Amino acid sequence: MKSQTIRRWSTVHTWTSLICTVFLLMLAVTGLPLIFHHKIDHLLGNTPEFKQMPANTPSLSLQQLVLAAEAHRPGEVMQYFGWDDDTPNAVTAIMATTAETEPNASHTFVLDARTGEALEKASANGGFMMIMLRLHTDMYAGPWGMLFLGAMGLLFVAAIVSGVVLYAPFMRRLKFASVRQTKSSRVRWLDLHNLIGVVTLTWALVVGVTGVFNACADLVITAWRNDSLAAMIAPYRDAPPLLSRAPATRLLDIAEAAVPGMEADFIAFPGTRFSSEHHYAVFMKGASHLTSHLLTPVLIDASDLHVTAIVDRPWYMDALLMSQPLHFGDYGGMPMKVLWAVLDVLTIIVLGSGVYLWWVRRRATTLVRVDTSQAQTAR
């Protein structure tokens, strides 16, 4: 009975690993540069260079920046404004032909908050890093590609769990971290495969589970829109279309007064999927490393700028917001990124060695069958 159980777990481990390995290798390889995307953008010259100005140079108002963005992309509408702590004088602007345009068809650029000068951000609209990001998130297949990669993530988690089950009886025969150097190449690779797999176990589970959450991002956001956001904008359901909107000048002051102690992360303009046809949505974040990834939306009526709601953040949105930075090691600065990269490389070795071990075993089994068949024929 015990041997049958082990064989079943071995079958689960073999096939879940084989089915997802090619895609996991692609994710591991593309994920490696994404861990250091800020540094790589700088090396490739994709980081906008701002003019040198006195430190006390004041910033333009939000409405002045909106007008500067619209002048830079005439005929398009504003979708989002965002801020990055690493570049304090920059405001990221995202525009498209319509407010509902999906993200991959929008155009991203940077505004100098002091002058309104528009600077192109090549890596956000194409180039090497965008190719890596699209391959890593949806393989250029949109929502279906994201869900497919999420399914591969689930298989990866199943492969990890089944590998742990198989490793337990294996370790009873050997000391931990033993690599039998005097044995065949296949045995040595098996020992290395098991050893590296155990060392990277916790990290692989974390990355696998958070990857599944990230792959379901569109579903999670849709659920949030249909649940929390829909309840907050229900009074506007039968309201006439918004013909004009109030200037965005005071949006940040209004939002900061509504949720003291928090600061703006990004603004969703009316008509986008993170707001409504009648609202600005200012997404506020906390000051600590943890709370800076948990966003609280403040809905502001776009006609007269009064706060209509502070939208509830359900648990599934918290899970998504926490999983995104954890997936790429964005919580602990450069040391954590380096650790993530090392573990990523080790995972590539585990995946590659797993394919090698399966191929060697399959070839050996085929040779035994051929020899047996020839022996029977000779008789």
In the listed set 105, 128, 151, which residue is the last one of a domain according to the structure? 128
In the listed set 112, 128, 144, which residue is the last one of a domain according to the structure? 128
65 compared with 349, residue with greater pLDDT: 65
Q: Within the chain, where are the H helices? A: 2-35, 37-43, 62-72, 122-125, 127-137, 142-171, 185-199, 201-215, 217-224, 230-232, 251-258, 315-327, 333-378
Same domain, 232 and 345: no
- CA 327 to CA 332: how far, in whole Å? 12
Residue 47 lies in a domain: no
Residue 43 lies in a domain: no
The model's pLDDT over 232-248, given as tens digits with 9 standing for 90+, comes to: 999 898 888 888 899 99
Same domain, 195 and 162: yes
Same domain, 199 and 318: no
The domain containing residue 205 runs over which residues?
A: 2-38+136-214+333-378
The model's pLDDT over 33-58, given as tens digits with 9 standing for 90+, comes to: 888 887 887 777 667 778 888 888 88
Is pLDDT of 362 > 50? yes
Same domain, 146 and 18: yes
Q: Per-residue pLDDT averaged across 101-107, rounded?
A: 89
Same domain, 145 and 256: no
Torsion of CA 225, 229, 234, 235, to 10 degrees: -140
Is pLDDT of 357 > 80? no
Same domain, 93 and 204: no
Residue 72 lies in a domain: yes
Is pLDDT of 187 > 80? no
Residue 18 lies in a domain: yes
Same domain, 151 and 203: yes
Total domain count, the chain: 3
Same domain, 140 and 20: yes
In the listed set 128, 149, 175, which residue is the last one of a domain according to the structure? 128
Residue-level pLDDT at 1: 43
| Mean pLDDT for all residues in the chain | 85
Same domain, 88 and 10: no
Residue-level pLDDT at 301: 95
Same domain, 270 and 301: yes
Radius of gyration, alpha carbons of the chain? 26
Residue 20 lies in a domain: yes
Helix 217-224 with 315-327: angle, nearest 10 deg: 150
Same domain, 99 and 176: no
Q: Per-residue pLDDT averaged across 329-336, rounded?
A: 76
Residue 178 lies in a domain: yes
The model's pLDDT over 220-234, given as tens digits with 9 standing for 90+, comes to: 998 998 898 989 999
Torsion of CA 164, 167, 172, 173, to 10 degrees: -170
For the entire predicted model, the pTM comes to 0.84
Contact predicate 169/163, CB 8 Å: no
Q: Per-residue pLDDT averaged across 364-368, rounded?
A: 55
Same domain, 198 and 226: no
Is pLDDT of 91 > 50? yes
Cα 59 → chain centroid: 31
Q: Per-residue pLDDT averaged across 169-178, rounded?
A: 63
Q: Which two tokens stand for residue 260?
A: 């003291």
Residue-level pLDDT at 4: 76
